[in-house]
Structure 1
Amino acid sequence: MSIHVIKPSSRKNNAAKALVSRDCGPTGCEVDWLTSIRVEAEDDITAFTDFSLEKGWGDGLPLVPPTESRVRTFLSGNDRYPDEIIARMPDSSECTVEKIVINAVMAGAPVESLELIIAAIEAIAEPDFELYGVNATTAPVFPAFVVNGPVRDALNIPYSYGCAGGVATKANAIGRAIRLIMRNVAGQVAGTTSQTTFGSPGRLASILMGEWEEKSPWAPLAERRAGVEGNAVTAFSTMGTMNVLDTTSTGADAFLEMIGKSVAYPGANCFSPSMEYSEMTIGINPICAAIIAKGLRSIEDVQEVIWKYASLPADFLQAYHREQVEAQGRIREDGRIYATPEPKDIVLFVCGGLGGLHALGLHSFGSSLSQTRPIARAVPAAIAAE
């Protein structure tokens, strides 16, 4: 059956909408708020997936056709005007609620996830995040997200076993919606606007996980990093996941030494002369976190110890690399190069299953700073009560 779908990559903007009275809300006033171009396609997932690849909208996985009915149904479950501009993308294109919803429908994201997606887009659109570089670089980098607050359970955001990937949850569709927005609104296309050499599975569905706050001996990440309590999302750039296994250590310093030394290797962006600033995001398994907290109660002390070990002796680098880093003033008085400028740039959170002693290394791109945003509105009552 041939139908009309709403084009996900259309950047048409109808400024006249701003002149219309909004007193009766986004579903009233007999106003058609949707401004995107309609395109004829087949209302069949397989056919539409092929069609989307021909048009450059798809990611190669099955897509739900974003019919006008599906888009309006998604919008009706929330309270946002479709023409509301959430962020401007690196090419100055406008990322509106309408564009977000179209891509969320295609990804199969739940209606109740809109506010989380909006907060995530707001976080990565900030100038300090430097989304242009993350999208365009030769590196395999992509934005990843850690969620805090009750919204974790309301949307089934994983924070226990398999939290960084592999859990059967619609959080995968939420992450994929963000990735489709990167493609269709921000314009990230490998080999064209992105020169990524290898890419990453994270460029299909991102990494969207929660912090296991209930198992953490420290305050939640969003509260520590930005003073945001409750529902919030923290965005950071990452090259992917790195596992740190330590079945031998028994005390706080020993665990932190293994974590710090493991994430410090010469080819990481944080040691590259082309990246003068870097953060390091690390997920700590709840069992490890409990052991560490017995020796070091303060999260600042934990950051300090990891930072000390997450360093390399300058003479470990090739001579030319060492000369470049030295010219940047990055070799300290002790003759070492540190993964981040200061201990506070070690971004820590608690997550993961209880089956073993592991840590999760998430190396950053280098120039993008992590950003935290509150999830501005409550998850709809219908899902929050489930």
Structure 2
Amino acid sequence: MAQELVLTEADVQEEFFERGWTDGLPVVPPTPERVQAMLDYAGVGAGDIVGNVPERSREVTAEKAAVNAVMAGCRPEYFPVVLAGLAAMFDPRFGCHTVVTSTGGAALCAVVSGPLVAELGFNSFRNALGPGCRANATVGRTLRLVAMNVLGARSDSLDGSSLGHPGKFTMLVAEEPPPEGWPPLRVELGYGEDDTTVTMFPSEGPHQVANHLNGDPEGILLTLAAAMTNPSTYAVAKKHQVLLVIGHEHRQILAEAGWTKPMVREFLAEHSRVTPEHLMDSGVLLEYTAQNDMTPDADGKLNTVRGPHDIFLVTAGSAGAGWSAYIPNWAPTVHSEATTRKVAAPGDGLPLA
């Protein structure tokens, strides 16, 4: 059980800042009553183990997760979503220890897909990747606060980020219902239409992709492929994963022209393959190590993704001039992969592994 710290309301912020328990922003005081409300809503016990990081000999209990969820500003209704995100983070394939301590400064990007997006008020429409929505901001913020306060990944300690990026405060993508013929992400990953899932994606910041004038589907996809092959992105040509947020106009054009999501992924996987010259002309040297062997294939090209399955397509955003977003994994899949968990119903306890 967590120890109680008795403070006046006026002293909470300064005490928490002094102890390094915040992300630099004010927090909600995690009173026992507020923490218990989180636990009760999800139907979990204080000592239930959400997950662990063997490299750190650290485990996260439901109570510690609830404390940080209160601090982040979550409502109790959001807590099952938080628990699913944490469970996905602690999947060994995610590589949580490396993600939160590397110099690469990855965000803990959560992708929420399912009915709870609308029910809980997540924003998947206008300014979908921006500020202004409590659910988006506080759920994503909780994941980072857990990494800091429970796993010790703070800037003055284990977080080795050379630069980092603003997505390390909070980063969450809520999926807008896709156009007809395009299954949502959760269904593509093997879950049901009525399920809500959280996919954790250790990412760089979003790169906005503009194509305002071209109504040709291949033209739009070539623009996305160009974003995917920017030589300055660390994992280009090293077989990493990519999250693409397909904006309003772009998804309309693609779907109305008969392009399915598998077709889009196939096209992008092929057109994101690059030659060594593509990298070296930008000053990027090839690596020949056990982890990153950049020996070209027989046709002289290197794969940016291992295959179409490493391209995650999510629809979000409102009408505009023609915007999408490219969000690359911060490192090749040898270091980390996206992982997914289903959100448990209120009162049902921890999400299933």
TM-score, with length taken from structure 2: 0.90
Deviation at 1:362, TM superposition (A): 0.4
CA distance in 2 between counterparts of 1:298 and 1:74 reads 40
User: 1:256 maps to which residue?
Assistant: 221
Helix, strand or coil: the match of 2:288? helix
User: 1:28 maps to which residue?
Assistant: none
- Choose between structure 1 and 2 for higher RCO, CA contacts under 8 A separated by at least 6 residues: 2
Name the aligned partner's letter for residue 36 of structure 1: A
User: 2:324 maps to which residue?
Assistant: 359
User: 2:77 maps to which residue?
Assistant: 112
Could you tell me which runs of 5 or more consecutive residues in structure 2 were left unpaired when the two chains were aligned: 349-353
Determine which of 357, 371, 380 is the counterpart of 2:339: 371
Determine which of 39, 42, 60 is the counterpart of 1:75: 39
CA distance in 2 between counterparts of 1:320 and 1:358 reads 28
Identity of aligned residues (%): 24
- The answer to whether the Cα contact below 8 Å between 2:273 and 2:302 also exists between their aligned partners in 1 is yes
Could you tell me which runs of 5 or more consecutive residues in structure 1 were left unpaired when the two chains were aligned: 1-34, 381-386
Deviation at 1:129, TM superposition (A): 0.5
User: 2:125 maps to which residue?
Assistant: 160
- The answer to whether the Cα contact below 8 Å between 1:269 and 1:364 also exists between their aligned partners in 2 is no
Helix, strand or coil: the match of 1:243? strand
Residues 323, 365 of structure 1: alpha-carbon distance in 2 compared, 3 angstrom cutoff = closer
- The answer to whether the Cα contact below 8 Å between 1:138 and 1:196 also exists between their aligned partners in 2 is yes
Name the aligned partner's letter for residue 249 of structure 2: I
User: 2:351 maps to which residue?
Assistant: none
Show CA shifts across 1:72-130 (max 9, x none): 23333342111111101351312111011111111111011111000000011100001
CA distance in 2 between counterparts of 1:379 and 1:83 reads 16
1:340 is aligned to 2:308: no
Determine which of 70, 86, 101 is the counterpart of 2:50: 86
Residues 347, 216 of structure 1: alpha-carbon distance in 2 compared, 3 angstrom cutoff = farther
1:223 is aligned to 2:183: no
Helix, strand or coil: the match of 1:152? helix
Deviation at 1:48, TM superposition (A): 1.4
User: 2:7 maps to which residue?
Assistant: 41
- The answer to whether the Cα contact below 8 Å between 2:179 and 2:255 also exists between their aligned partners in 1 is no
CA distance in 2 between counterparts of 1:341 and 1:78 reads 37
Aligned residues: 340
Deviation at 1:325, TM superposition (A): 7.9
TM-score, with length taken from structure 1: 0.82
CA distance in 1 between counterparts of 2:189 and 2:317 reads 20
- The answer to whether the Cα contact below 8 Å between 1:148 and 1:232 also exists between their aligned partners in 2 is yes
Q: Which has the larger radius of gyration?
A: 1
Matches within 5 A, 1:1-386: 35-44=1-10, 47-89=11-53, 90-205=55-170, 207-215=171-179, 217-229=181-193, 230-271=195-236, 276-318=238-280, 321-322=285-286, 324=288, 328=293, 330-366=295-331, 367-378=335-346
Show CA shifts across 1:22-69 (max 9, x none): xxxxxxxxxxxxx1111232223xx31211121121111111111222
- The answer to whether the Cα contact below 8 Å between 1:64 and 1:108 also exists between their aligned partners in 2 is yes
User: 1:25 maps to which residue?
Assistant: none
Helix, strand or coil: the match of 1:234? strand
Give the aligned CA root-mean-square deviation in angstroms: 2.2
CA distance in 1 between counterparts of 2:289 and 2:210 reads 30
Helix, strand or coil: the match of 1:170? helix
CA distance in 2 between counterparts of 1:260 and 1:325 reads 26
Name the aligned partner's letter for residue 240 of structure 2: S
Name the aligned partner's letter for residue 170 of structure 1: A
